[in-house]
Amino acid sequence: MTDFSNLPYRPNVGVALFNRDGKLFVARRADLPGEIWQCPQGGIDEGEDPRTAALRELAEETGCTQATVLAERPEWLAYDLPTGLIGRALGGKYRGQTQKWFVLGFEGTDSDIRLDLHLPAEFDLWEWIEPEDLLQRNLGFKQELYEKLLPELKTLYQAASSDWLRTNRA
């Protein structure tokens, strides 16, 4: 068996996009079998600031440019790929990813979300859901990641959203 422990983690950002009703944006992966759901996320380009990467990834994956950064999770969170994907996924160069998560407020309308702008499309279906309902979805190997992360993201949203909601009434 090959030892992948010397492979680095890929720098990555995650986006928890909340609408004015406190619902969370989730999308179904177009490239994975089994109806796997997740929040938008993606790699950080060389020299790119994580906040800039979060907004870029959101726009690339969802077409959404109508969002404001409300909060940033202070710590990075790393996860390993499943053994069968190490050496194959992420170009075969990484053992997993280390993520910086951001909480964003959605300021657009549902028609601003376009999954077909980036080819190949990352997602093929999306929904606004109650945040706790995310854990009832098939999250694939990221289940534990979201179990740890979701309460923190909800807390960050609740702490940051009152001023945003007051100034951004629809």
Note the pLDDT tens digit of each residue in 105-151.
999 999 999 998 888 899 999 999 999 999 999 999 999 999 999 99
Q: Burial level of 16, CB count in 10 A (0-12/13-18/19+)?
A: buried
**pLDDT class of 34 with cuts at 50, 70, 90:** confident
Q: Please, what is the average pLDDT of the chain?
A: 90
Q: Which comes out higher in pLDDT, residue 91 or 52?
A: 52
Give the strand pairing for 9-18 and 41-43: antiparallel
Q: Are 87 and 4 in contact (CB under 8 A)?
A: yes
The mean pLDDT value for 29-35 works out to 86
Q: In this predicted model, what pLDDT tens digit does every residue of 93-105 receive, in sequence order?
A: 888 889 999 999 9
The mean pLDDT value for 12-27 works out to 97
Per-residue pLDDT at 1: 46
Residues 6+ apart with CB under 8 A from 151: none
3-state secondary structure 35-80: CCEECCEEECCCCCCHHHHHHHHHHHHHCCCCEEEEEECCCCEEEE
Per-residue pLDDT at 80: 86
Q: Which comes out higher in pLDDT, residue 82 or 72?
A: 72
Q: Are 51 and 69 in contact (CB under 8 A)?
A: yes
**pLDDT class of 169 with cuts at 50, 70, 90:** low
The mean pLDDT value for 42-46 works out to 94
Cα–Cα distance for residue pair 28/125, rounded to 1 Å: 5
pLDDT at 50 over 70: yes
pLDDT at 62 over 50: yes
Q: Name the token pair of 100.
A: 């910086």
Q: pTM here?
A: 0.91
Torsions phi, psi for 69 (to 5 deg):
-70, 120
> Measuring CA to CA, which residue among 11, 10, 39 is closest to residue 142?
39
Least confident of 17-21, 39-43, 67-71, 90-94: 90-94
Q: Are 65 and 112 in contact (CB under 8 A)?
A: yes
Q: Name the token pair of 40.
A: 């938008």
